[in-house]
Amino acid sequence: MAATEQELHEFREEVSAWMKVNKPADPDFLLPQSFMEVGDERQLEFLREWQFRLWSAGYLGMAWPKAYGGGGAEPVFQSIADQEMRRHNVPICFNVIGLGWAGPLIKDIGTEEAKAKYLKGILNAEDIWCQGFSEPDHGSDLGNAQTRAVREADQYVLNGQKIWTTMGNFAKYMILLARTNPEAERKYDGLSFFLSPMHVEGVETRPIRKITGEYGFTETFFTDARIPLDCLMGEEGQGWKIAMQTLQYERGAEAGAAGGLSMIRVTVQDMLDSLQGVCRDGEPVLEDPVVRDAVVQAIMEEKALMLGLRRMGIGPLNTDYPGSIALSSKLRASEVTRRLRQLAIGLQGAEGGLYVGDPAARQGGFWQRAYFNSFSATIGGGTSQVQANIVAEHILGLPK
C-alpha cells in the first residue's frame, strides 16, 4: 500500500532530525566532493564509517530487498532521505560504483547467489567496487575495448589492461567490460560484462597521480587472471547492452539505485560566501561592475539547470525536442560546475594563485582543487564532446 502524505512527512522529519544529530564534524583534511576524488586511506575510512552509519540507521538501500541488507520500503522513502542528505549537506556515499551501478544491476538481473554475495557488502561499505571500462587505447570509443576474457573449463582467463580505474587500489570487486568474442561482426557484440574479483592472482593495480597531486585512480593489469564462470553477468555478448542498462540508474532511487549523495553540490551562493573580504580596486569584489556581470551570468547558468529539472516534468512543455533536458543534463551540469569553479578562483585576487597546503589559501585551497576535480565529470562517464554527439544524434536527429 502506498505511503500516505502524513507518513512521508513524518519520515522526512525523522530523517532530518537524524541528520542534524549525526552529520559528522568536518575533519582536519579536505573531504572528497565526489567518489572520483577519494585519494587516501584517511578519506576512505572517514567515508566508509559514514556510509556504514547511514546504512545502520536505515537510510541507505531503503528500497532494496530486506533479505539482502535493504529496507524493503517504497523508493519514495529513499528519495526523501536523499533530499534531506542534500539539504543537510552531509558527506557523500563514496561506494558509488556499487550503489549506483553494480548493485542495482545485480538486484535486477543477477542470480540469487550474486544477490546474496554482493548486495549487503555494497550497502554497508564493506566491499568497495570499481569500474573497469576504459582502456589506454579505447576511452571514448569504449565499444572497441580489447581486454580479453577467454573461457577455459570452469574459469574465464583475463588478459589486457584497464586504466583510470577510480579506487582501483581500494576495491574488492570490479564491473568489467571484456571481449569474449573478437570475431563478432559488430564490435559491441563481442563484449561481455563481469563481476570480477580484484584480489586474485594476475590482477595488479598501479596508482596514477592526478592533476591535483593526489592519488585516486589506477592502471589495472590483467595477466592470465582466472575468475570463476559465474562472474559473468547475463550471457556472453550482452556486455554492451548491460553497460547501457546501468545508465538508467543515474536517475536515482526511483530507478533502482541504492541512494546516498554521489557528489556534493557547490553553488554560486557558496562562491559568493567564499569571497568575503576580497577586494578589487580597493572596493569589495562584488561591487566591481565587470565582476558583477560575470556573477549574474553564473547565477543564470545555475538557475537554468534547476529550472530545467522542473520543466522536464511538465509534459506539454517538452514536446519540441522531447528528452533534450534529460539527455543533456550531464553535459550541462558538468560544464556549468567547471565554469563556476574557474570563476571562483579568478575572483580571489592574488590569493587565487595559492593551492592546498598554503596556510593563506582561501578555504584551504578548496576552489583550486575543486576546479581541477571538476574535469572528472567533464571527462569521466563520457566526455562533454562525446555527450554533445549523443545529444545531436539522438535529440536533433543529426547524422553520425
Partner 1 sequence: MNLIGHTELRFTEEQAMLLHVAQEFCRNKSPAESVRALLESDVGYDVSVWQEMTELGWSGIALPESCGGAGLGVGALVPVVESTGRTLLASPLISTALAGQLLLRAVGPDKAEPWLSRIVGGAVATVAWLESNDWGDSNIKVTLDATGQLDGQKRFVSDANAADFIVVPARRNSEMVLAVVSADMFPESALTLNTLVDLTRRSANFNCSGIRLTPENILAGDAVEGALADTRLLGALLVAAEAAGSAGACLDTVVEYLNTRKQFGKLIGAYQALKHPCVDILMELDSARSFVYHAATVVMDEVLNEAAEAACRMAKVQANDVLSYAGDRAVQFHGGMGFTWDCDAQLYIRRAQWSQQQFGDPLHHRKRLAALLLD
Ligand X SMILES: Cc1cc2nc3c(=O)[nH]c(=O)nc-3n(C[C@H](O)[C@H](O)[C@H](O)COP(=O)(O)OP(=O)(O)OC[C@H]3O[C@@H](n4cnc5c(N)ncnc54)[C@H](O)[C@@H]3O)c2cc1C
Interface with ligand X (CB under 6 A): 36, 130-134, 139-140, 164-166, 217, 376, 379-383, 385-386, 389
Piece of the chain touching partner 1 by CB under 8 A; list 13-21, 33-41, 359-367, 383-391: 383-391
d(CA 100, CA 251) in angstroms, rounded, equals 9
| Backbone dihedral angles phi then psi of residue 137, each to the nearest 5 degrees | -100, 0
- Where do we find the cell 587516501? 40
Is residue 302 close enough to count as binding partner 1 by CB under 8 A?
A: yes
Is residue 357 close enough to count as binding partner 1 by CB under 8 A?
A: no
Do the Cβ atoms of 63 and 77 come closer than 8 Å? yes
Q: Parallel, antiparallel, or unpaired: how do β-strands 173-179 and 129-132 relate? A: parallel
Tell the smallest beta-carbon distance from residue 396 to partner 1 (Å): 5
Q: Report which secondary-structure segment, H or E, holds 392.
A: helix 384-394
Do the Cβ atoms of 234 and 242 come closer than 8 Å? yes
C-alpha cell at 168: 582501483
Residue 15 binding target from ligand X, partner 1, none, CB below 5 to 8 Å by type: none
Of 40, 297, 322, 353, the one binding partner 1 by CB under 8 A: 297
Tell the smallest beta-carbon distance from residue 31 to ligand X (Å): 17
Tell the smallest beta-carbon distance from residue 391 to partner 1 (Å): 5
Is residue 292 close enough to count as binding partner 1 by CB under 8 A?
A: yes
Nearer to ligand X, 264 or 386 (CB): 386
User: Side chain identity at 213, as an amino acid letter?
Assistant: G
Do the Cβ atoms of 81 and 62 come closer than 8 Å? yes
Do the Cβ atoms of 336 and 305 come closer than 8 Å? yes
Nearer to ligand X, 307 or 392 (CB): 392
Residue 161 binding target from ligand X, partner 1, none, CB below 5 to 8 Å by type: none
User: Side chain identity at 106, as an amino acid letter?
Assistant: I
Do the Cβ atoms of 196 and 174 come closer than 8 Å? yes
Nearer to ligand X, 207 or 308 (CB): 207
Nearer to partner 1, 277 or 397 (CB): 397
Residues written for the chain: 400
Nearer to ligand X, 180 or 274 (CB): 180
Stretch 165-224 residues interacting with partner 1 (CB under 8 A): none
Nearer to partner 1, 17 or 388 (CB): 388
Tell the smallest beta-carbon distance from residue 355 to ligand X (Å): 18
Tell the smallest beta-carbon distance from residue 374 to ligand X (Å): 10
Count of residues that bind partner 1 according to CB under 8 A = 41
Closest C-alpha among 395, 348, 389, 350 to residue 371: 348
Stretch 305-344 residues interacting with partner 1 (CB under 8 A): 306-308, 310-311, 314, 316-317, 320-321, 324-325, 328, 331-332
Do the Cβ atoms of 33 and 373 come closer than 8 Å? yes
Read out DSSP for 151-171? EETTEEEEEEEEEEEETTTT-
Do the Cβ atoms of 148 and 113 come closer than 8 Å? no
Is residue 293 close enough to count as binding partner 1 by CB under 8 A?
A: yes
Residue 376 binding target from partner 1, ligand X, none, CB below 5 to 8 Å by type: ligand X
Do the Cβ atoms of 34 and 264 come closer than 8 Å? yes
Tell the smallest beta-carbon distance from residue 15 to partner 1 (Å): 21
Residue 296 binding target from partner 1, ligand X, none, CB below 5 to 8 Å by type: partner 1
Is residue 385 close enough to count as binding partner 1 by CB under 8 A?
A: yes
Following CA atoms 85, 86, 90, 93 in sequence, which dihedral angle do they give, to the nearest 10 degrees?
80
- Exposed/middle/buried for residue 322 (C-beta within 10 Å: 0-12, 13-18, 19+): exposed
Residues that bind partner 1 (CB under 8 A): 268-269, 272, 286, 289, 292-293, 295-297, 299-300, 302-304, 306-308, 310-311, 314, 316-317, 320-321, 324-325, 328, 331-332, 385, 388-389, 391-392, 395-400
